[in-house]
Amino acid sequence: MSITTRTRGAAVAGLTLSLVLTGCGSDDDGGDSAGPSSSGGSSAFPVTIEHAYGETEIPEEPTRVVSLGFTEQDAILAFGVVPVAVRYAFGPEDDVFFPWADEAAGDADPEIIPREEVDIEAIAALEPDLIMAVTAGLTEAEYDTLSGIAPVVVQPEEFPAFGTPWQDQTLITGRALGQEERAQELVAEVEAQFQATVAAHPELSDRTVTLSGVAYEGEYPFHSSSDTRTQFFTDFGMVVAPELDEIAGDEFYGTVSQEQADLLDADVLLWQSGSDEERAQIENDPILNSIPAVAQGRALFVEGADYDALQFGSVLSLPYLLESLVPKISAIVQA
């Protein structure tokens, strides 16, 4: 049997409106799974993790982990564990490991789970002992069904679907894998990189930012302050216009009509572009070209590896993004 994951009004927007990328990840082959590193160890079990749908007990050290969230694999790989199966999100359909994760993944060749449909029988056949779904956006019914196969961990109750900050996801994953101490170390390491970058770029503080992309069902999308992609920029003290957050409400995204397109204007307007076709669609849109940020050179395309790394927003991808994207935004602000 199978269950279909809800798109929640804009699952495409949740993965940023583009699912056609090229040149991402490795072409390596290899084994199913690698065990956890020495930090933590099996003595950490059993562990109980509270989340949006209650709590999950993991009785013993997992060795067959399914990465069901759309960007779950990075958080798992960070602990030296290679999933036996990974949910496809975007990019090459035969490779779910992106460049910043290739070293951690090694020569692994996991099963690839389709993006839009979860085949329960196929998941059961993998004989997992843990299903990580912090970035899966599961309904409670889907969670209940999957819990009949193995322990399932979803997002914390205080965060919306697709809205769990990378720090929390890293800590949750580390706890689930019996490596809580290592999780704290990883978070501290990346936060230190953030702090150094923030100190080097005070010009970004209090600047407004809008993260948008190609039109979706005739309207223009944007990501609210609660979205993990936007949080990358708010960590530098940048802010989303209150009007946009009000439109989005409790969701991680919102849309504005063509007549409201000027609401997307900001000190820095970022266009997420997952393909040449998407970039062309944005560049050739006369309404978007009339936004002041575009006319005044304050718009930037986030594409290629920057695009990929922003979608993941993970403990593995963020160091890359700090080095690559921040200087481009700084140049716009200081122009």
Residue 125 confidence (pLDDT): 96
- Dihedral pair phi/psi, residue 256, rounded to 5°: -125, 150
For 98-127, how does the pLDDT look when each residue is reduced to its tens digit (9 = 90+)?
999 999 999 999 999 999 878 899 999 999
CA 293, CA 290: separation in Å to the nearest integer?
A: 8
Question: Residue 295 and residue 276: Cα distance in Å, rounded?
Answer: 21
What is the DSSP-derived secondary structure letter of residue 219? B
Q: What pLDDT does 56 receive?
A: 98
Query: Could you tell me the CA-to-CA distances from 33 to 97, 106, 107, 116, 221 in Å, in that order?
Result: 14, 10, 10, 24, 38
The predicted structure's pLDDT at residue 118? 81
Domains of the chain and any CATH numbers: 2-191 (3.40.50.1980), 200-334 (3.40.50.1980)
pLDDT, position 29: 38
AA letter at 245: D
CA nearest to 235, candidates 187, 198, 267, 278: 198
pLDDT for position 116? 84
pLDDT at 91 (0 to 100): 85
pLDDT under 70: residue ranges of the chain: 1-42
Residues 6+ apart with CB under 8 A from 110: 32, 67, 82, 83, 84, 85, 86, 96
282-285, Cβ contacts within 8 angstroms, sequence gap of 24 or more: 282/213, 282/214, 285/215
Residue 62 DSSP one-character state: -
pTM of the model: 0.81
For the stretch 1-14, pLDDT in tens is 333 332 222 333 33
